[in-house]
Structure 1
Amino acid sequence: MLVLTRKAGEKIVIGDNIEVTVAEIKGDSVRLALHAPKQVKIYRGEIFEAIVEENKQAATNIVPDALDSLLQVKGQTKASKLKLPEVK
């Protein structure tokens, strides 16, 4: 982990196209301005963690009957005979 000290108005550049500017410092809060291409997804840490957890839950809640019907359309075997990877 890289730890940097910056004052209000100072910048950090990540790669060729991401710029982080310290916009304001008030007490214990720091306001950051992020400039990045539209295709770069930027999330607050707690939101990103919630998305990861939701994706894990979605991956573990596979309904075998629904999977069987999808596989039958493709001419595959039953889901119960497949070795699906374990999601951690």
Structure 2
Amino acid sequence: MLVLTRKPGEKVLIGDDIVITIIENRGDGIRIGIDAPRGISIQRAEIVQAVSDANVEATHAAADAEERLKAALGIVSPPPNEEPTP
């Protein structure tokens, strides 16, 4: 990891087409501006982690989730020994 000290108005260049500009120092944080090509995704790490955690949680359904969903939609399941009708 490269660690730099920068002042407001100073810039950091990444490659040929990404520019990070220090906008303002606010005591408990800084404001930065990022100028990058449209095809480059810029995301806050904590948001990416929260979405990833939510997606993992969504894959863990309760054992009776299907039956509760069917009940909520008013769908009646056939008894276990009967064949469903098409």
| TM-score band, normalised by shorter chain | 0.5 to 0.7
Aligned to 2:13: 13
Aligned to 1:39: 39
Aligned to 1:22: 22
Structure 2: gaps of 5 or more residues: 61-86
Structure 1: gaps of 5 or more residues: 63-88
Q: How far, CA to CA, are the matches of 2:56 and 2:4 in structure 1?
A: 33
> Pairwise mapping of residues 48-59 of structure 1 onto structure 2 (< 5 A)?
48-57=48-57
Q: How far, CA to CA, are the matches of 1:4 and 1:54 in structure 2?
A: 34
Q: How far, CA to CA, are the matches of 2:15 and 2:55 in structure 1?
A: 28
- TM-score, normalised to structure 1, is 0.58
- TM-score, normalised to structure 2, is 0.60
Q: How far, CA to CA, are the matches of 1:15 and 1:54 in structure 2?
A: 33
Q: How far, CA to CA, are the matches of 1:4 and 1:20 in structure 2?
A: 12
Q: Which has the larger radius of gyration?
A: 2
> RMSD between aligned alpha carbons?
2.0
Give 1 or 2: higher helix fraction: 1
